[in-house]
Structure formats: C-alpha cells, structure tokens
A = this chain, B = another copy of it.
Amino acid sequence: MSNPSILILPGDGIGPEVMAQVTRIIDWFGEKRDLKFDVETDLVGGAAYDKHGVPLSDETMARAMEVDAVLLGAVGGPKYDDLDFSVKPERGLLRLRKEMDLFSNLRPAQCFDALADFSSLKKDIVSGLDIMIVRELTSGVYFGEPRGIHKEGNERVGINTQRYTESEIARVARSAFELARKRGNKVCSMEKANVMESGILWRDVVTEIHETEYPDVELSHMYADNGAMQLVRAPKQFDVIVTDNLFGDVLSDCAAMLTGSLGMLPSASLGLPNADGRPKALYEPVHGSAPDITGQGKANPIACILSFAMALRYSFDQGDEATRLEKAVEKVLADGARTADLMGPEDGTPISTTQMGDVILEAL
C-alpha cells in the first residue's frame, strides 16, 4: 500500500518559515514512528501569483483534490494589496475551500496553562479555556451571488449576498453536534435571527437537526453581537460554537485572541469523506502571513505544528500520535521555551523559529 499523501502549500510571509518546522516533524514521524507520508510542496497565494499570475494554478488545485490532506501556511501581504480582487492571494485560499467543499472549519481556542498570563484577559477568565468554534466555510456572504461593484446613476454600489440553503446549514450543524458529543456536549449557535432572514433559517435548521438527530446534546442560541460580548465577558461558558462564514471569521478571531497566543492556534477545514472514508481536508494556522516579521526567524511555528497534529487526528486516524505531538508542545512551553510573540518586552531573549522546532523534536 502506498503512503498517505500530503500537499504542503507554505504560501506567503512567515508561511514558509513555520512550514519548514512542520516538515522536520513529518520526517520525524516517518523515521521514529514508522508513519510515512508522501509529501509534495507547491505554491499558493502571492507566491503562486508571482510565478503563474494566479493565486492558485489549476494544476495545484487538481493535486489538492487528489491528496489525503493539504497543509497550508499563510497567504497575503502588502506587496499584493493593489492586485485586482480576482487574483488577490486570498482568492487562492478561497478557491481551495470552495472546490474541496470544506464546509466545516474547526477552530479551537485553547488557553495553554503556561501562557495564561499572556492573555489581555484576567487569568481566571481564560485559564483552562477550551472552546471549539465550528465555522461554516463554503457559503454565506463569501460566495453568494450577485456580488460586485456596479454603477447606478453616477454612483458606484457595492453588493454581496448572504445566502444559505437548508442543507448547507444542516451539514455544518451536524459536524458541530458530532464534535460536541466528544467534548462537553454543548453547542451554542450564533446568528442575527432578529434582523436577518438567513439567520432565521439558520436557527430553524439547527433546531430541527438538534431535535431529530442530537436531542442528547445541549443546544442554545445567541445573537452574534451578544456572542462577541459573551466571549469577552465569560468565554468558559462555551463548549462548541457553530456559526456562519462571516460571523465565524470575526468571532473566531476574537476567541483566538482571548487565549493570548494566536501563534499557537491551529485549524482544520473538513469536507465530505472520500471513498476511503477520509474527509477532504486542509489544515492551517489561524494566524496570518505576518509580513512585519517575515524572514527574521521570529515566527512561532506552533500553530502550524498543531495544525499537523489535527491532520494526524482527523485525516490519518492517528489520535494517539496527535496527542504525542500536542504533549511535546505543552512540555516545551512548560519548560519555558518562548518565541518572541510569547514574551513581554522584559522577559529575556526569545528563541527562534528553528530553535522552537529543535526543542519540540527533542521533546518528541
């Protein structure tokens, strides 16, 4: 049997730097745990635009559809700010999400004990925090038609369309309920049903799926504005949060920042299972391309490394090996390993991206 395949797309900014550490870790699993992967690397985002004039070539797209998992670094940067909308780095990522049909985006917001002090929130509010945000990723205002800028009389008008079908809501709701069963058994669904009809449909469908398929899970509903408040006020009230593409974008970033360790947070974007039962899947850190620190060896590779841990768990059915990797990360943090983002100005000298890779490999 051939090895499971991984397509690595380091992308832009710090993407290649953090991904270099992931590659070392993949190699370690191959050598030490006999978990071998066929790894290939390709371009996405600005890097792809520079070479091909598009942020994702058709060839790369085709490979993404074939492999067992995609690992992505980050896309975007000021160099590409003035590009036409249709070829912006982000379109490469959005094309992957859409064509791979990765409708369920899992974004854990977890506060690492060793780092609780680093949050802008009080320690008792965030220590032990462990939320899973499930964001719908292939519909809503990101992809709805009509869209664009046109002229009406002598003014321009900008339009986007928020659009959800019942089945689009149902499948992401199921994914949230399934996850909740393996965690705290609670789901909170967020929308603006008080002002948006798409929110009413969202609430209806989530309620239906709950009643007919997951009555054992505790379900609550919250308006998204209140959700943002509650995340700041008392985030530990949540277990799994399920929400649409745009609210999910904003709320998951808000939740991520609560932990104080954005450089630590992974994500998984999952689609439907292939013939072999594996979901189509893309793994990426929650953080962006961080142009301000690119090329300085300052980036924290942990979010990207933990994204690979999610791949081990969700794509390769290697939950134990995922836990092994996560424990290694916890250990180096407990031992005091800190990249620059995890330090205050007076906390001494941070270690580099590569050094963080070194100590995690050692801990493994």
> Could you tell me which A residues sit within 8 Å of B by CB distance?
76, 85, 88, 90, 94, 120-122, 125, 141-142, 144, 147-149, 152, 155-167, 192, 194-202, 224-229, 231-234, 246-247, 249-254, 256-258, 262, 288
Task: Known A120-B121, A121-B120, A162-B161; judge A149-B200 contact (CB<8 A).
Answer: yes
9 contacts between A and B (CB under 8 A): A120-B121, A121-B122, A142-B195, A152-B165, A155-B166, A158-B198, A232-B232, A250-B250, A250-B251
A256 proximity list for chain B (CB < 8 A): 229
Copies of the polypeptide in the assembly: 2
Give the distance in Å from the alpha carbon of A192 to the alpha carbon of B262 in the complex.
Answer: 20
Give the distance in Å from the alpha carbon of A218 to the alpha carbon of B247 in the complex.
Answer: 28
Min CB gap A167→B, angstroms: 6
4 new A-B pairs (CB below 8 Å) besides A120-B233, A144-B159, A232-B258? A226-B253, A228-B254, A229-B253, A232-B232
Give the distance in Å from the alpha carbon of A202 to the alpha carbon of B158 in the complex.
Answer: 8
Residue of B nearest to A159 (CB): B163
Q: Let me know if A197 and B159 touch, CB within 8 A.
A: yes
Min CB gap A300→B, angstroms: 15
Q: Let me know if B159 and A162 touch, CB within 8 A.
A: yes
Q: Let me know if A250 and B234 touch, CB within 8 A.
A: no
Q: Let me know if A192 and B158 touch, CB within 8 A.
A: no
Give the distance in Å from the alpha carbon of A251 to the alpha carbon of B158 in the complex.
Answer: 21
Give the distance in Å from the alpha carbon of A257 to the alpha carbon of B234 in the complex.
Answer: 10
A232 proximity list for chain B (CB < 8 A): 120-121, 232, 254, 257-258
A225 proximity list for chain B (CB < 8 A): 249-250, 252-253
Q: Let me know if A141 and B162 touch, CB within 8 A.
A: yes
Q: Let me know if A158 and B164 touch, CB within 8 A.
A: yes
Min CB gap A198→B, angstroms: 4
A202 proximity list for chain B (CB < 8 A): 158
Min CB gap A2→B, angstroms: 37
Min CB gap A287→B, angstroms: 10
